[in-house]
Amino acid sequence: TLSDRLTSVLQNLRGKGKLSDADIDATAREIRIALLEADVALPVVREFIKHVKERAKGAEVSEALNPAQQVIKIVNEELVGILGGETRRVNLAKTPPTVIMLAGLQGSGKTTLAGKLATWLKKQGHAPMLVACDLQRPNAVTQLQVVGERAGVTTYAPEPGNGVGDPVDVAKRSIEEARHAQHDVVVVDTAGRLGVDEELMQQAADIRDAVQPDETLFVVDAMIGQDAVTTAEAFRDGVGFTGVVLTKLDGDARGGAALSVRQVTGEPILFASNGEKLEDFDVFHPDRMASRILGMGDMLTLIEQAEQAFDQEKAEQAASKLGTGDMTLEDFLEQMQAVRKMGPIGNLLGMLPGAGQMKDQLSQVDDSQIDRLQAIIRGMTPAERENPKIINASRRQRIANGSGVAVREVNDLVNRFYEARKMMQQMAGKFGFGGGGGSAT
Ligand code: GDP
Ligand code: MG
């Protein structure tokens, strides 16, 4: 698997200071293969990898992660970002009914989706109505009616026996009917073809003009892989859509279609369908899809664990130093960063008598403040960091000038440091941590 390949290529390269270009290239090559195997379209892969490389080149090496893990972390974050970050909610009309139109190729799962959406909408407290505008295939209307019955919602369909009706006409009348019967959401099922063709696009566009949908959802089978891009482009140009629904994710599709469609059209993915039953449906989760595309959920968990373990190790090292009174300003900074990241340790500290103050101080520190503190500490000479006692007035002035802060801030920092050190010494005396254990780290 990809994770095996990556780990064996790049093991033991921990903490080299900066990711080397060779490390990044090697990892990028493997990621590229993973994306192509997941059926992401080639131009999308290229663009994506280029972007990730740029970001990786600017990244400091994390001491907690090896270069492969670090690049994967970046890839994962980028994937989640592109896939939408947060889920977008359905646009509801100011004046009901909200009209949701479904468009997509035949067999993509529109009719099935209509039932799933109706079920989901009902759970959200809506009173949806389905509309049968697929009058192309003889069974299409019945299929929607069956789906509607299962979902327990009304289905609006042309009267039987009148021959083939006009879908645009049905669509128009359905809105009247929805208003009349107080349905606040209308889901319009439309006809698809096996391939993209003009007649299909024209009909979908005519229905769209007739009902003025609040959402037009492009329904796409995740299994069609690379073809998703051309199909999405055709629907974007022919009908236009405001959101995407991925179907058949229960199959073995790796989900590359999601990334391609999202990247090429810029429209968000709203829902995911993963089975034939009404309940096989969920709002779309970018993070799950990202780990599916990468095919390395385990690796991502490992990365998370490695980072947490590393933070913990750091925090413990710092704590044992604090107790012996050897704490330097450098340690102080690290300690603050570690505590900020860990959260729970801050809470632990709060439970120790006398430590409440320390916790308050730490929790007041936000990231931008940590940046400022870091700037101040970086503005000190190594000797000053090791032994803050030598920081006299003129040194304070110099440090303030050098790091672009007021002298008062330098004073604050130094005072805070002394307080923290004193407190930690007292605590160490009381509770014995960091005392003569002698773990030479
Ligand atoms: P339409 O032509 O776009 O209306 O597609 P249908 O809703 O009729 O679905 C076509 C076929 O795909 C049917 O056999 C559905 O049962 C099946 N189908 C739809 N959605 C899913 C899904 O998420 N997973 C699976 N496995 N099958 C699905
Ligand atoms: Mg259908």
Most confident among 27-31, 212-216, 298-302 (mean pLDDT): 212-216
Residue with the larger pLDDT of the pair 440 and 164: 164
**Is it the case that residue 94 has pLDDT exceeding 70?**
yes
| Class of the CATH domain delimited by 2-82 | mainly alpha
Distance CA 405, CA 401 (A): 7
Task: Specify the pLDDT at position 263.
Answer: 87
Annotated binding site: 104-111, 189-193, 247-250
- Those residues with Cβ within 8 angstroms of residue 382's Cβ, 6 or more apart along the chain or in another chain: none
| Span 381-391, pLDDT tens digits | 888 988 888 99
Domains of the chain by residue range: 2-82, 98-294, 325-431
**Is it the case that residue 130 has pLDDT exceeding 50?**
yes
Most confident among 19-28, 57-66, 195-204 (mean pLDDT): 195-204
What number does the ligand 1 atom closest to the CA of 281 have?
A: 23
Looking at the CA of 271, which ligand is closest? 1
What does the DSSP assignment read for 299-327?
HHHHHHHHHHHHHHHHHHHHHHHHHHT--
Pick the residue whose CA is nearest to atom 12 on ligand 1.
109
Ligand 1: centre distance to CA 254 (Å): 18
CA triplet 352, 324, 425: central angle to 5 degrees?
A: 40
Task: Specify the pLDDT at position 8.
Answer: 54
What number does the ligand 1 atom closest to the CA of 104 have?
A: 3
Most confident among 7-11, 111-115, 299-303, 379-383 (mean pLDDT): 111-115
| Span 280-299, pLDDT tens digits | 999 998 888 888 888 776 66
Residue with the larger pLDDT of the pair 18 and 11: 18
ipTM above threshold 0.90: yes
Closest CA to 158 of 142, 179, 181: 142
Least confident of 54-58, 218-222, 279-283, 417-421: 417-421
Ligand 2: centre distance to CA 115 (Å): 11
Distance CA 435, CA 425 (A): 9
Ligand 2: centre distance to CA 112 (Å): 7
Q: Give the pocket of ligand 1 (CB within 6 Å).
A: 104, 106-112, 192, 247-248, 250, 273-276, 280
Which of 276, 281, 282, when mutated, tests ligand 1's pocket best, judged by the most ligand atoms within 8 Å of its CB?
Answer: 276
Task: Specify the pLDDT at position 162.
Answer: 58
Given pLDDT bands bounded at 50, 70 and 90, which one contains residue 341? low
Pick the residue whose CA is nearest to atom 16 on ligand 1.
276
Looking at the CA of 147, which ligand is closest? 1
Residue 188: φ, ψ to 5°: -100, 115
Residue with the larger pLDDT of the pair 84 and 206: 206
What number does the ligand 1 atom closest to the CA of 274 have?
A: 23
Q: Give residue 322's region: left, alpha or beta (phi > 0; psi -120 to 50).
A: alpha
Mean of pLDDT values over 267-289: 91
β 185-190/154-156 pair status: unpaired
Residue with the larger pLDDT of the pair 12 and 55: 55
| Span 136-170, pLDDT tens digits | 887 899 999 999 999 999 999 987 665 568 999 99
Looking at the CA of 116, which ligand is closest? 1
Q: Which CATH superfamily is domain 325-431 in?
A: Signal recognition particle, SRP54 subunit, M-domain (1.10.260.30)
Mean of pLDDT values over 209-220: 96
Given pLDDT bands bounded at 50, 70 and 90, which one contains residue 348? very low
| Run of H or E residues at 162 | none
Residue with the larger pLDDT of the pair 374 and 92: 92
What number does the ligand 1 atom closest to the CA of 105 have?
A: 3
For 412-438, b/e burial (b = at least 16 CB within 10 A) is: ebbebbeebbebbbebbeeeebbeeee
Ligand 1: centre distance to CA 110 (Å): 7
Tokens representing 61 are 């090496």
Least confident of 53-67, 73-87, 185-199, 301-315: 301-315
Ligand 2: centre distance to CA 86 (Å): 29
Distances (CA, A) of 218 to 97, 235, 377: 20, 7, 54
Ligand 2: centre distance to CA 118 (Å): 15
Task: Specify the pLDDT at position 272.
Answer: 93
What number does the ligand 1 atom closest to the CA of 275 have?
A: 24
| Class of the CATH domain delimited by 98-294 | alpha beta
What number does the ligand 1 atom closest to the CA of 273 have?
A: 23
Return mean pLDDT, the chain: 82
Residue 219, beta-bridge partner list: 245
What number does the ligand 1 atom closest to the CA of 112 have?
A: 7
Least confident of 147-151, 343-347, 356-360: 343-347
Ligand 2: centre distance to CA 139 (Å): 9
Task: Specify the pLDDT at position 428.
Answer: 62
Ligand 1: centre distance to CA 108 (Å): 6
Distance CA 281, CA 247 (A): 9
Task: Specify the pLDDT at position 29.
Answer: 87
Task: Specify the pLDDT at position 173.
Answer: 94
Closest CA to 401 of 376, 419, 374: 376
Annotated binding site for GTP: 104-111, 189-193, 247-250
Distance CA 415, CA 391 (A): 11
Looking at the CA of 217, which ligand is closest? 1
Pick the residue whose CA is nearest to atom 20 on ligand 1.
109
Given pLDDT bands bounded at 50, 70 and 90, which one contains residue 12? very low
Which of 106, 112, 244, when mutated, tests ligand 1's pocket best, judged by the most ligand atoms within 8 Å of its CB?
Answer: 112
